Amino acid sequence: MTPFIRVAVPVPTLDLLTYRVPTGLPPPPVGARVIVPVGARAVTGVVVAHTDAMPGRMADVAIKPFVRALDERPFVPARVVELAQWTAEYYAAGAGATITAVLPPKARGDRADGHKVRRVAALTPEGNLALRAGTAISPRQRDALQMITEQAEGVPIAELADRGISADRVARLAKAGWIHVRTETVERDPFQASGFVGPPLDDARRLTAEQRTALDRLTAWAAAAAFRVALLHGVTGSGKTEVYLRLAASVRRSGRQVLLLVPEIALTPATSALFHRAFGGEVAVQHSGLSEGERHDQWQRIRRGSVGVVIGTRSAVFAPLERVGLIVVDEEHDGSYKQEETPRYNARDVAIVRGQRADALVVLGSATPSLETYHRAMQGKYDRVTLTRRIHDRPLASVTVVDMREEYASAGPDVILSRALREALTDRLERREQAVVLLNRRGYSTAVFCRQCAGTVDCPNCSVSLVVHGVSPGTRRAQCHYCSYSVRVPQLCQACGGSFLEQTGFGTERVEAEIGRLLPVARVARVDRDTIRRRGALDALLTRFRRQELDVLVGTQMIAKGHDFPSVTLVGVISADVGLGMADFRAAERTFQLLTQVSGRAGRGETPGEAIVQTLYPDHYSIQLACHQDYVGFYDRELRFRQAMRYPPTVSLINTIVRAKTFSGAMQDAAELVARLRAASAGGSEFRVLGPAPAPLGRLRGEYRVQFLVKGKHRRHMREALMAVVASLPEVSRRTTVDVDPLSVL
């Protein structure tokens, strides 16, 4: 009998813990929940492994027994537990942090079944006889019994109360034997709760020749039931979603399950509505926009095996599916797939590992693939399937680049909308067509500065300027987008006491207000993190836009991809170069992807589309090539830069950030780590260490940040050497963040 179990508990700093199996008890299976002692507390963990041998370092320690098992069978499928363990190891995260991503809400306590229940009253045979006879019951009792007969399966007690039937009367009817009251589980349905109106589903739609060829190849690979990764590289509007739908239908007919990942909650309403219409009750959704109860119920449906298709954002990669045959990662290039807190996993790469372990086909779809994905396809590691033409051979949007330096010279420095964009918006209003305006920066003004001393209003906790929010001057507040610090916009400079404060720069709030001022008849709405906080707000807004109850949609990058609005014929891009000035080697790639994606929102219906791109750097290669949707040209140009500078995809990269209360303390600790790491690799050429140096975001939430980069060809060796060095300094390790395969080095 196995004497010990290894358990992951949802405590971020803890690795696997070892517990003794009490004599006479069978060991709980891998994936089962157990109550275990952790210090003075009792917490719920998940069994990860069985072992017959006590870990060597614990030979002289009395191993505590686990308290009790909550499950006789695996609560989390063993394959998902293994995937979580791989994630913890690859991304240098503790098992405790990773197991949290696997468990659903309401699953971490002794009685954490999380089910919603209701009491239902149903008529008994005796009650039916009494109702028919009518002699032994009062009029009020007859009314209650008659009401209960309206629904064959019974009436919820809460509904009876709403209709004037008190709990006391229900109890008396039950005592008389005329009704039976039962308790039943209620599954919360996110599809019913959402009022989103998605695109129509046309079963008679015909595939293009390219779609048919792509679908035939992908279907054959899926039918082989062997691991394979395919890049579906299709221009915007080429019908990738239709290919996903039909491929999913083929996989479902074979009895296997489908997992479809989308990068953001903003894309789930349309995608899930489309798949729900095609597959009905077989579809489940998983994302943080659902209530905890909805997420719990959807997770349990998946776990029971009553779901054939799961649609979700990043964390859905750990959905408890048992028979995965197809995994689709839509918009695979999107940075939202990368989690920016521990465990810092990339759901795209975890999905590939899951597909490998399930002998499944993994499809990575994008019009603008990440350089890593496209590079692997060019090396033959992934298959490449292309869609080069739009549906119905509709042309790509024509693109006009506006040099804002000329606009400022002729109209002054406060111009937000160029003359070309103003005229185009006016034209669309007259033609009753819709427009999308993108600015990847929220707020009203981006900074407050003093004309007397040139000082700015900065966050006291982070090394950033505060962003002004609020259209009305009397309600404006200056906020930090990192730590949420907020203060009323000051009237006097904090540095010199002067009264010459000005607000500069602009975000989506200011753009929305400016369009409303210039075009007062336009119906304008905004989509950014500030406007979709309330549950259901995003669904309602997108539905209004789809119904053409709005003329102009202003938003950040969440409106730039995936959406299909046939009446949008104009896309305007404000400050297209906003990301190019960032100290990040991926800045040009992100700019190219964003501009290409948002331009692709225009002209997806019968009317050709137009995109107007405003920039201070009209000659930058990322902007020029995005305007022509020339992905191959951009890839060739950007790859040469990455090779010269030794950045991914030509090498592997690990970013390490050390935090401390003082800058000198952070620099000293980072320097010690770097010295030990260089000593560990002395004489070898497996990797290089760059730094330490102040991080671009030098102070965050009251802590100073120093970073160093590890570059090399052998990621595993780099990771193992780094983690060994970090573990050798326990005090420093608690203030150290290791990011394997970072998407940002800020």
pLDDT in the model for residue 84: 95
Is there a single domain that holds both residue 79 and residue 228?
A: no
Is there a single domain that holds both residue 210 and residue 317?
A: yes
Tell me which of 288-297, 357-366, 508-517, 701-710 is least confident.
288-297
Q: Mean pLDDT, to the nearest integer, of 490-506?
A: 89
Domain assignment present for 463 = yes
- Domain endpoint, select from 77, 102, 127: 102
- Domain endpoint, select from 505, 528, 558: 505
Q: Which of 202, 271, 268, 207 is nearest to 239 (CA)?
A: 207
pLDDT in the model for residue 7: 94
Is there a single domain that holds both residue 611 and residue 587?
A: yes
pLDDT in the model for residue 59: 56
- Please provide the average confidence, as pLDDT, over all residues in the chain: 89
pLDDT in the model for residue 58: 57
Tell me phi and psi for residue 445, to 5 degrees.
-125, 150
pLDDT by residue (tens digit) across 202-261? 555 789 999 999 999 999 999 999 999 999 999 988 899 999 999 999 999 999 999 999
Reply yes or no on whether the pLDDT at 520 is more than 90: yes
Max mean pLDDT among 105-119, 312-326, 383-397, 561-575 falls in 312-326
Which residues are CB-contacts of 28 (< 8 A; sequence separation ≥ 6)?
A: 5, 34, 47, 66, 69, 71, 72
Is there a single domain that holds both residue 138 and residue 205?
A: no
Domain assignment present for 647 = no
Of the CA atoms within 13 Å of residue 315, those in its CB half-sphere come to 21
Residue 205 and residue 239: Cα distance in Å, rounded?
Answer: 11
Reply yes or no on whether the pLDDT at 371 is more than 70: yes
Is there a single domain that holds both residue 354 and residue 403?
A: no
Q: Mean pLDDT, to the nearest integer, of 376-392?
A: 94
- Residue 392's pLDDT band (cuts 50, 70, 90): confident
pLDDT by residue (tens digit) across 41-67? 899 999 999 988 766 555 556 789 999
Tell me which of 35-49, 191-205, 545-559 is least confident.
191-205
Residue 613 and residue 178: Cα distance in Å, rounded?
Answer: 72
Bridge partner residues of 555 (DSSP): 438, 527
CATH of the domain at 716: 3.30.70.600
- Domain endpoint, select from 186, 207, 240: 186
Is there a single domain that holds both residue 341 and residue 453?
A: no
pLDDT in the model for residue 271: 86
Is there a single domain that holds both residue 274 and residue 349?
A: yes
Domain assignment present for 126 = yes
**Residue 266 vs residue 344, higher pLDDT:** 344
Q: What is the DSSP letter of 473?
A: G
Domain assignment present for 632 = yes
Q: Mean pLDDT, to the nearest integer, of 2-15?
A: 86
Domain assignment present for 111 = no
**Residue 134 vs residue 179, higher pLDDT:** 179
Structure tokens at 640: 């040469």
Is there a single domain that holds both residue 78 and residue 223?
A: no
- Residue 186's pLDDT band (cuts 50, 70, 90): low
What is the four-CA torsion angle of 553, 559, 562, 565, rounded to 10 degrees? Answer: 0
746 and 697 in contact (C-beta within 8 Å)?
Answer: yes
pLDDT in the model for residue 306: 87
Task: Find the domain containing 700 and state its range.
Answer: 652-740
Is there a single domain that holds both residue 411 and residue 536?
A: yes
Tell me which of 287-296, 346-355, 582-591, 593-602 is least confident.
287-296
pLDDT in the model for residue 112: 45
Residue 443 and residue 446: Cα distance in Å, rounded?
Answer: 7
Residue 597 and residue 613: Cα distance in Å, rounded?
Answer: 13
CATH of the domain at 372: 3.40.50.300
What is the four-CA torsion angle of 476, 480, 484, 488, rounded to 10 degrees? Answer: -30
Strands of 268-382 (E only): list them: 283-286, 309-312, 324-330, 361-366
The count of domains in the chain is: 6
Tell me which of 133-137, 206-210, 426-430 is least confident.
133-137
pLDDT by residue (tens digit) across 578-598? 888 888 899 999 999 999 998
Domain assignment present for 746 = no
Q: Which of 567, 24, 584, 605 is nearest to 335 (CA)?
A: 584
Max mean pLDDT among 99-108, 665-674, 682-691 falls in 665-674
The count of other CB atoms within 10 Å of the CB of residue 693 is 13
pLDDT by residue (tens digit) across 11-38? 877 889 999 999 888 999 999 999 999 9
Domain assignment present for 745 = no
Is there a single domain that holds both residue 405 and residue 489?
A: no
* Helix (H/G/I), strand (E/B), else coil: 462: coil
pLDDT by residue (tens digit) across 597-635? 988 888 888 888 999 999 999 999 999 999 988 999 999
pLDDT by residue (tens digit) across 268-285? 878 888 898 899 889 999
The DSSP H or E segment spanning 48 is strand 41-51
pLDDT in the model for residue 685: 65
Is there a single domain that holds both residue 450 and residue 410?
A: no
Domain assignment present for 723 = yes
Reply yes or no on whether the pLDDT at 97 is more than 90: no
pLDDT in the model for residue 297: 84
| Cα Dmax for the chain | 100
Residue 420 and residue 614: Cα distance in Å, rounded?
Answer: 10
Sign of the dihedral defined by the CA atoms of residues 243, 245, 246, 251, in that order? positive
The DSSP H or E segment spanning 637 is helix 631-645
- Residue 187's pLDDT band (cuts 50, 70, 90): low
Is there a single domain that holds both residue 449 and residue 581?
A: no
Reply yes or no on whether the pLDDT at 461 is more than 80: yes
Which bin fits 519, alpha (ψ -120 to 50), beta or left (φ > 0)?
beta
pLDDT in the model for residue 111: 43
Structure tokens at 196: 């989103």
The percent of residues in the chain predicted with pLDDT above 90, rounded, is 61
Question: Rounded to whole angstroms, what are the CA distances from 399 to 235, 444, 571, 572, 629?
Answer: 15, 27, 9, 10, 10
Which residues are CB-contacts of 714 (< 8 A; sequence separation ≥ 6)?
A: 652, 686, 687
Question: Rounded to whole angstroms, what are the CA distances from 628 to 39, 378, 621?
Answer: 61, 22, 11
Q: How does DSSP assign 124-148, residue by residue?
A: -HHHHHHHHH-SSS-HHHHHHHHHH
Sign of the dihedral defined by the CA atoms of residues 175, 178, 179, 180, in that order? positive
